[in-house]
């Protein structure tokens, strides 16, 4: 889970939060472009994030499938953290860009987005495996605090509270 707390937005406007159901886009892709869906469930995409004191690197498919249900279990769609790609074939290269373009159409369609203002004092909690998030441009001063709760800790507490089996 990702937690975002808007602490301040002063002397400006904009900065609306945009949320998209990543599973919805993946499910639509599975029905409308099954070849692209299959590619994005199998082809490992390199992701890398570097800042002072940190160097994260990870490789995984964009769409992770639940082994029991065969439904999407996690979406890793972040065009800003992609590493340089080293394709083994031109076919993989074309399939990669075509598949991401077709998936991105669902996420970029405003009919599939929920846009709202995250006002100072508001805390938002989202399932980061499912929900894609972004924001519009803004002016002024805007301060958010963020944190993560591990999936296993969240599921543990939900089971103890009787919210899930």
> Rounded to 5 degrees, what are φ and ψ at 118?
-95, 95
Mean pLDDT by 10 residues, the chain (165 residues): 96 96 98 98 89 91 96 90 79 95 97 96 96 96 96 94 94
- Torsion angles phi and psi, residue 106, rounded to 5: -70, -40
What pLDDT is stored for residue 48 in this prediction? 85
Q: What is the pLDDT of residue 62?
A: 96
If DSSP states are collapsed to H, E and C, what string results for the chain? CEEEEEEEEECCCECCEEEEEHHHHHHHHHHHCHHHHHHHHHCCEEEEEEECCEEEEEEECCEEECCCCCCEEEECCCCCCECCCCCCCHHHHHHHHHHHHHHHHHHHCHHHEEEECCCCCCEEEECCCCEEEEECCECCEEEEEEEECCHHHHHHHHHHCCCCC
**Quick one: pLDDT at residue 78?**
83
């Amino acid at each position: 889970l990702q937690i975002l707390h808007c602490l301040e937005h002063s002397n400006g406007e904009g900065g609306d939060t945009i949320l998209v159901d990543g599973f919805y886009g993946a499910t639509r892709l599975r029905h409308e472009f099954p070849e692209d869906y299959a590619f994005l469930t199998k082809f490992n995409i390199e992701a890398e994030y570097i800042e002072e004191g940190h160097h994260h690197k990870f490789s995984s498919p964009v769409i992770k499938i639940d082994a029991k249900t065969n439904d999407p279990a996690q979406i890793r769609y972040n065009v800003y953290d992609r590493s340089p790609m080293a394709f083994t074939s031109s076919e993989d290269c074309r399939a990669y860009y075509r598949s991401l373009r077709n998936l991105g159409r669902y996420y970029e369609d405003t009919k599939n987005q929920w846009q709202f203002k995250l006002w100072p004092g508001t805390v938002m909690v989202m399932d980061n495996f499912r929900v894609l998030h972004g924001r519009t441009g803004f002016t002024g001063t805007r301060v958010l605090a963020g944190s993560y709760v591990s999936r296993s800790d969240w599921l543990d507490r939900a089971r103890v509270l009787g919210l899930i089996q």
